[in-house]
Chains A and B, each alone.
Chain A
Amino acid sequence: MRRSGILAAPFLAGLVLLVVAPAIAAIYLAFTQFTAIEPPRFTGLDNLGRLVDDAAFWRSLGNSAIYVVLAVPLRLVAAVGFALLLHRRSRGVGAARAIAFLPSVVPEAAYALLWLWLLNPVYGPIPLLLGGAAPDLLTDPWGARIGIALMGAFQIGEAFVIALAARRVIPGSLYEAAAVDGASPWWTLRKVTLPLMAPIIALLALRDVVLSLQVNFVPALVLTDGGPRYATTYLPLYVYRTAFRYFRFGYASMMTLTMFVATACIIFVMYRLARRWRLV
């Protein structure tokens, strides 16, 4: 017991110093006015009141929600789809799996710069390829939202690997039984594969929603800088600006706290749904 305590100490120290303490500090700061120049001044629920009237905050929250709705299904379909395509061992499958994983290994800023080129309205290959048919990706509000979601759709590495493992543990004899019973591939997918993978897919969805609310900071900063017309100012970016550009740390903390509560609510609802559908 004592030895395990000693072994865990470095981690626990890091956890307290870098996660727990800042989190508690942020909760406290959410109820203060704090500019980093003067000491924080307690203002009660003022920040919350201001938040309710802040159109930019609601817009950012909406943008984040739009991002979740666009990106999460896209990524899930891509991850599960690739897993179903690539679960068998045959020639070229190893390379294909590596390719599916690769975009997730590229550092985020470099990946975003790459997409800045790919989507560039003047010389980017994707607009050139699509010609006039496509919306103006990056320069039109919805175009920018779609562009950023599209970019995220290729970063499916971990979800892909987890889905691949989930598919591979389904016994082959179930597919043979289905084949002898005369089930079509589509029927087998709907009645055997997807239901058996459903708990994992639900887990991936849950995790992706949380990540999507928090981790679309870099693309929004590099690709669009939150624009055009605030269409891609997601909540994390708005929080960042409020804190580090306008030095309103107390107000930014209140937004973070709100995001935390909203995320918790979403997880709770999704978990209850998964329970009702007997997925977990």
Chain B
Amino acid sequence: MSIFVEAVSKTYRVRRHEPVRALSGIDLEAHDGELVVVVGPSGSGKTTLLRCVAGLEHPDSGRIDVGGSDVTDLPPGERDVAMVFQEYALFPHLSVRDNIGFGLLARRQPKDQVATKVDNAAMLMGIRDALDRRPAQLSGGERQRVALARAIVRSPAAFLLDEPLSDLDAELRTFMRSEIRALQRRLETTTLYVTHDQTEALTMGDRVAILRGGRVEQFAAPADIYARPASTFVARFIGTPPMNVVPAGLLGAGDGFAGLRPEHVRITPDGAGRLQGRVVHEDALGHEVIVHVAVGDEVLLARSPVPQAPGLHATTGLDYDDTDVYAFNADGKARP
């Protein structure tokens, strides 16, 4: 089942406050079985977009399709979507079993069928032992699994996940990331996945939509976004560490801005190389060092193997190949 979002706009109006335009003309689609990640900084409208698809917000204009039918004016319960909330939104007074079965029972499905489905979903998520416990007695990771089980038990047309991993610690987050991806591949359920974490976006998404100020800045496969960022915003947002974006003149690339990935900046001995600068900061990551080099008024980041790192406050040369330089216009858009 596919999801289509067409020209969706949403403005929040609160009395005695300036109206906030959260979404302006969003176009987006997720094909059947695809996992589309919506990523952007806070305030970019990604959660509003997801809530519009879920039916928790009504767009001012535009159209939303789920599974081939127009759901723009349908209430959330009639859209055949399941949502996983950031803080899981588990019912604290219900057992894990009743939490997972809540939606099925609310739709008046026979109790024995519900029991079977709940059991299967719990088995899939590895939480069968926890079925009789309450949410307060579970760890963060287990709660996350219950929230996912509650979503998959209904076999909906689409999953909507709103920053599902942000409440987990780093180790568990990496683990759940691959687990959610594997689950989604197995169930082949179309999924919209909202996150502010670009690593999550690149590693999980079949395609990634980058939102900025309520607009889609770029919508493409992760590899394409990394290889061909559509704007300086995307270039600065994606990658760890992100791309260096400096006035083009500094890299001898004409007008506008020029981008250069830190892995394409080579540290050379002082005096050698096309640029000269001074090391102002170092992030030692163990296997490599991110060297921050001040060149004129700009700071360029370079990834360097540990032995070659020049050391703090040292003056150093930097070198790069012209083929690695990305050209952007003065308005920030990528030059074709």
* Chain A residues closer than 8 Å to B254, beta-carbon distance: none
Structural contact, A179 and B102, CB atoms closer than 8 A = no
Structural contact, A183 and B106, CB atoms closer than 8 A = yes
Bound-state CA distance A178–B77 (Å) is 8
Known: A179-B76, A180-B76, A181-B102. A173 touches B85 (CB 8 A): yes
Return B59 CB to nearest CB of chain A, in Å.
17
Structural contact, B92 and A179, CB atoms closer than 8 A = no
A132 within 8 A of partner (CB): no
B134-185 interface (Cβ within 8 A of A): 150, 154
* Chain A residues closer than 8 Å to B103, beta-carbon distance: 180-183
Structural contact, B77 and A176, CB atoms closer than 8 A = no
B327 within 8 A of partner (CB): no
Known: A191-B102, A195-B93. A177 touches B107 (CB 8 A): no
Structural contact, B56 and A179, CB atoms closer than 8 A = yes
Bound-state CA distance A176–B75 (Å) is 11
Question: B83-116 CB contact bits vs A (8 Å, 1 = yes)?
Answer: 1010101111110000000110011000000000
Structural contact, A187 and B106, CB atoms closer than 8 A = yes
B78 within 8 A of partner (CB): yes
Structural contact, A192 and B77, CB atoms closer than 8 A = no
* Chain A residues closer than 8 Å to B78, beta-carbon distance: 182
B40 within 8 A of partner (CB): no
Q: How many A-B residue pairs have CB under 8 A?
A: 67
Return A94 CB to nearest CB of chain B, in Å.
14
Q: Which residue in B89, B90, B107 is a CB contact (below 8 Å) of A182?
A: B107
Known: A171-B89, A174-B91, A195-B93. A181 touches B106 (CB 8 A): yes
Structural contact, B93 and A196, CB atoms closer than 8 A = yes
Structural contact, B106 and A184, CB atoms closer than 8 A = yes
Chain B, interface size category, equals 20 to 34
Bound-state CA distance A207–B92 (Å) is 25
Query: Interface centre among B75, B92, B93, B154, by most A CB within 10 Å?
Result: B93
Known: A173-B85, A187-B106, A191-B102. A180 touches B91 (CB 8 A): no
Chain A, interface size category, equals 10 to 19
Bound-state CA distance A121–B94 (Å) is 51
Query: Interface centre among A174, A177, A192, by most B CB within 10 Å?
Result: A177
Return A25 CB to nearest CB of chain B, in Å.
46
B205 within 8 A of partner (CB): no
Query: Interface centre among A173, A180, A198, by most B CB within 10 Å?
Result: A180
Return B190 CB to nearest CB of chain A, in Å.
16
Bound-state CA distance A187–B79 (Å) is 18
* Chain B residues closer than 8 Å to A171, beta-carbon distance: 87, 89
Structural contact, A177 and B89, CB atoms closer than 8 A = yes
B82 within 8 A of partner (CB): yes
Return A196 CB to nearest CB of chain B, in Å.
6
* Chain A residues closer than 8 Å to B106, beta-carbon distance: 178, 181-184, 187, 191
* Chain A residues closer than 8 Å to B85, beta-carbon distance: 173, 176-177
Structural contact, A192 and B81, CB atoms closer than 8 A = no
Return A192 CB to nearest CB of chain B, in Å.
6
B267 within 8 A of partner (CB): no
CB-nearest residue of chain A relative to B80? A182
Known: A176-B56, A196-B92. A182 touches B77 (CB 8 A): yes
Bound-state CA distance A176–B54 (Å) is 10
Return A2 CB to nearest CB of chain B, in Å.
42
Structural contact, B56 and A192, CB atoms closer than 8 A = no
B266-323 interface (Cβ within 8 A of A): none
B55 within 8 A of partner (CB): yes
Bound-state CA distance A33–B94 (Å) is 57
CB-nearest residue of chain A relative to B107? A182
Structural contact, A192 and B89, CB atoms closer than 8 A = no
Bound-state CA distance A171–B87 (Å) is 10
CB-nearest residue of chain B relative to A194? B93
Return A89 CB to nearest CB of chain B, in Å.
10
Structural contact, B76 and A192, CB atoms closer than 8 A = no
10 cross-chain CB contacts under 8 A: A171-B89, A176-B54, A176-B85, A177-B85, A177-B102, A179-B77, A180-B103, A182-B103, A191-B106, A192-B91
Binding site for A on B (CB under 8 A): 54-56, 75-79, 81-83, 85, 87, 89-94, 102-103, 106-107, 150, 154
Shortest 6 CB-CB contacts between residues of A and residues of B:
A182-B77, A181-B103, A183-B106, A173-B89, A177-B89, A179-B76
